[in-house]
């Protein structure tokens, strides 16, 4: 990437000086901002956003001739509250002083009145891979490239900008922040609902929820943000705590889970981690709690295997054994079986569980080994019946 400089090259057949005078009176140079596909040396195709320029770059000022200039490009989009930056994963293109993409060229020789650095055709100033950019929001965006020419002797530079429409298919970083704020509210609300689904809330469970809120607040620096977050989360707890009827608890939970379905995966798993901690707080896996958790995970669209792995760690078999009211149905659920499965499907699921637990019987962690032995025994007992 670079600028072609061709000092003294004739264009239209005029004398150099006349040409320079004529061109200098025009708009000094133009920029173009495009989305395109480029092919790398190894044949790999890459989608990029490119800023291209054409024309003469000179000082545009007739009092102090400038001899050097830097061209700087910054990318941004328009949000509800004004300009929002676009972040680049390539460190050298990320501004140190302010969040956002920032490319600065090498110093260029420019001279007032004569042909300085110029090009007659479009020349690529910078191309940045789309995959290295994180946009603030998902969806249709108006992306602007702003070009500054910074002269060494003159403080202000010429500014040019160009805009393209771009559809961002991924969640943006502002989306993520807003989603995370909402996600915390959903998390504490669901945690209180899980706590109450067995008909009562206990102190261990309340402690878990309180600890979660404290942890979220501790990560914030801004005083206003801390107070706002505390208030919104505590309000969520109070609101949800007021729901006493178990069928209403379940309906409310499923509604929140449906909202959480659109959250990022990492946020869903963070929420589920909290819910499992609450369910396991009293060291007993109540059937109402586990069934409710299953339905929440399913509604949230969580990966089945990953959810099961989390549940196996948070609610080991010993907690199911502590539940005197729980029966074989709960044990089968723990092994990923459900009544709608055929015998061959159940056998296949048990085989999958067996592959997981059998090797752990010789784990050097005594708790893991104990859990694994019990699981293998349980698998054997259920398998015998099939």
**Residues at the site binding another protein, with contacts judged by CB under 8 A:** 91, 264-266, 269, 303, 305-306, 309, 313, 350-351, 354-356, 358-364, 368, 373, 376-377, 379-381, 383-384
Can you name the residues that pair with 53 across neighbouring β-strands? 31, 123
For another protein, give the closer residue by CB, 244 or 385. Answer: 385
Angle, CA 345 vertex, CA 342 and CA 351 arms, to 5°: 140
For 208, phi then psi, to 5°, come to -65, -45
CB atoms within 10 A of CB 148: 18
For another protein, give the closer residue by CB, 251 or 298. Answer: 298
Can you name the residues that pair with 69 across neighbouring β-strands? 108, 151
**Smallest gap, in angstroms, from Cβ of residue 386 to another protein?**
10
Question: H or E element: which one contains 50?
Answer: strand 45-57
**Smallest gap, in angstroms, from Cβ of residue 172 to another protein?**
15
What is the C-alpha separation between 378 and 373, in angstroms, rounded? 9
What is the C-alpha separation between 334 and 353, in angstroms, rounded? 10
What is the C-alpha separation between 270 and 263, in angstroms, rounded? 11
**Smallest gap, in angstroms, from Cβ of residue 114 to another protein?**
41
Can you name the residues that pair with 160 across neighbouring β-strands? 147
| Exposure letters 299-309 (e unless 16+ CB within 10 A, then b) | bbebeeeebbe
**Smallest gap, in angstroms, from Cβ of residue 380 to another protein?**
4
For another protein, give the closer residue by CB, 245 or 303. Answer: 303
Write the burial class of residue 67 (CB in 10 Å: 0-12 exposed, 13-18 middle, 19+ buried).
Answer: middle
For another protein, give the closer residue by CB, 232 or 361. Answer: 361
**Smallest gap, in angstroms, from Cβ of residue 331 to another protein?**
14
For another protein, give the closer residue by CB, 283 or 305. Answer: 305
Nearest Cα residue to 157 out of 93, 30, 53, 69: 69
For another protein, give the closer residue by CB, 45 or 355. Answer: 355
Nearest Cα residue to 62 out of 147, 160, 154, 152: 154
For another protein, give the closer residue by CB, 17 or 305. Answer: 305
For another protein, give the closer residue by CB, 154 or 360. Answer: 360
**Smallest gap, in angstroms, from Cβ of residue 73 to another protein?**
23
What is the C-alpha separation between 219 and 21, in angstroms, rounded? 60
**Smallest gap, in angstroms, from Cβ of residue 361 to another protein?**
6
**Smallest gap, in angstroms, from Cβ of residue 58 to another protein?**
38
């Amino acid at each position: 990437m670079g600028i072609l400089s061709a000092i003294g090259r004739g264009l239209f057949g005029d004398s150099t000086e006349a040409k320079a005078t004529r061109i200098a009176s025009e708009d000094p140079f133009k920029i173009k901002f495009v989305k395109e596909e480029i092919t790398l040396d190894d044949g790999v195709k890459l989608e990029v956003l490119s800023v291209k320029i054409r024309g003469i770059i000179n000082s545009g000022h007739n009092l102090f001739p400038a001899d050097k200039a830097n061209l700087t490009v910054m990318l941004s989009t328009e949000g509800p509250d004004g300009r929002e930056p676009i972040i680049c994963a390539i460190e050298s293109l990320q501004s140190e002083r302010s969040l956002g993409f920032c490319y600065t060229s090498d110093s260029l020789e420019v001279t007032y009145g004569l042909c300085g650095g110029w090009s007659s055709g479009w020349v690529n100033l910078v191309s940045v891979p789309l995959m290295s950019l994180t946009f603030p929001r998902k969806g249709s965006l108006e992306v602007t490239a702003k070009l500054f020419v910074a002269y060494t002797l003159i403080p202000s530079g010429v500014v040019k900008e160009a805009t393209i429409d771009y559809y961002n298919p991924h969640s943006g970083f502002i989306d993520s922040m807003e989603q995370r704020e909402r996600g915390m509210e959903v998390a504490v609300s669901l945690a209180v609902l899980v706590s109450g689904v067995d008909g009562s809330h206990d102190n261990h469970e309340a402690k878990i929820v309180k600890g979660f809120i404290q942890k979220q607040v501790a990560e914030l620096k801004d005083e206003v943000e801390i107070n706002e977050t505390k208030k919104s989360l505590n309000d969520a707890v109070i609101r949800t705590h007021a729901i006493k009827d178990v069928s209403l608890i379940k309906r409310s939970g499923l509604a929140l889970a449906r909202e959480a379905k659109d959250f990022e995966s990492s946020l869903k798993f963070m929420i589920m981690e909290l819910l499992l901690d609450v369910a396991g707080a009293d060291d007993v896996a109540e059937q109402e709690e586990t069934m409710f958790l299953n339905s929440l995970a399913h509604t949230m669209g969580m990966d089945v295997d990953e959810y099961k792995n989390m549940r196996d760690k948070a609610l080991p078999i010993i907690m199911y054994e502590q539940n005197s009211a729980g029966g074989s149905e709960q044990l089968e659920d723990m092994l990923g079986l459900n009544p709608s499965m055929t015998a061959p499907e159940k056998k296949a699921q048990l085989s999958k569980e067996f592959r997981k637990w059998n090797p752990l019987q010789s784990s050097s962690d005594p708790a893991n080994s104990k859990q694994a032995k019990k699981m293998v025994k349980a698998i054997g007992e259920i398998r015998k019946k099939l």
